[in-house]
Structure 1
């Protein structure tokens, strides 16, 4: 499903190459590891709380607005960047972004508190090995998906003009702004529900 991590993967792969886009999936998977462990031990009670939903939705909406604004306001003269293989931040940045973008996406937690939790419940029947097998299969699919997207985007970059590159990055930014506005609007609905 298209979401913030996918948009980041597309944008980052265009500007920094395949590896940095794929590393975002590793960050996403690290957060999922903590969620699987937490859900195994009862974290679902915390996530199925309206206040948690409001905080995650509002913080996520604001973060996505900020990130989308940064992507969409690229200078008009922006050209396709040359990938700098010596970038010291090349691994930490995308991994952190994968964690932050997942953590600020309310639908990520909704999925884990519902669908993901049901998979964990079924996996529990096989004990720790069942939960480990579920997590490994799930993150393998995520990493393969994001890696394929990153590879397709970074290898296809040579066929893009600077104008096409700018349009893609701006579209990614606008998509994140729309997601951010939607999440912020959902937070407003929560406030209206709890206030008389």
Structure 2
């Protein structure tokens, strides 16, 4: 299984991912403001099942790649590092979306539709799958045990972190949206923190690869 030191680094990455502006966060906040906290929670449940879908797909996909062509695993790690740098750039570029760039004109939906929309918002977001493919190889060590087990360990940690952060956001969605609108400097701070973490992880990927060569 994954060593404790690696898990601590992954924990930081999971937190950065959870606060990254994106369809999931924006949808959950928008739904909570428009239809209330219960609607936000039902949507969050759908989002969590969406994460599980991506974890299963990535876990078996990484295993297939590693067992079939080990060289591609190294290529994947390098590609992942550059993707993380790209995400950091996208977060910092002028005009990028903030966490509280919400939609306030959503119609009221029934529980089943709320769950389904949360699920599809996540499942149909290719950035989640690409992020997992970029991040997981950095922490998975074939010599540490079963590849799939390590993928699920990382995935469930990320899901827990995301659930806790999004739950908090849903509970304070309306007040938080107003506060951040009035204090845009904190949105910029959030973006810089996230970008710093992503760039650090990308550097770790590239340096580890260089050392192994």
TM-score, length-scaled by structure 2:
0.55
1:51 correspondence with 2:63:
no
Which consecutive unaligned segments of at least 5 residues does structure 2 have? 1-10, 33-39
Residues 27, 14 of structure 1: CA spacing in aligned structure 2 closer, same or farther, 3 A cutoff?
same
1:160 correspondence with 2:160:
no
Distance apart, 1:162 and its partner CA: 2.5
1:85 and 1:21 map into 2 onto residues whose CA distance is 17
What is aligned with 1:110?
138
CA RMSD of aligned residues (A): 4.7
What is aligned with 1:28?
51
Number of residue pairs the alignment of both structures matches:
178
1:70 and 1:15 map into 2 onto residues whose CA distance is 23
What is aligned with 1:126?
none
Q: Deviations over 1:37-56 (max 9, x none)?
A: 34655726638854332111
1:36 and 1:43 map into 2 onto residues whose CA distance is 11
2:196 and 2:142 map into 1 onto residues whose CA distance is 24
Distance apart, 1:33 and its partner CA: 0.9
Q: SS of 1:160's equivalent?
A: helix
What is aligned with 1:127?
none
Distance apart, 1:150 and its partner CA: 1.5
1:170 correspondence with 2:188:
yes
CA contact (8 A) 1:21 1:146 kept: no
Distance apart, 1:84 and its partner CA: 2.1
Which consecutive unaligned segments of at least 5 residues does structure 1 have? 124-130
Q: Deviations over 1:64-100 (max 9, x none)?
A: 321x12697459xx87652625799765443314323
Residues 138, 65 of structure 1: CA spacing in aligned structure 2 closer, same or farther, 3 A cutoff?
closer
TM-score, length-scaled by structure 1:
0.58
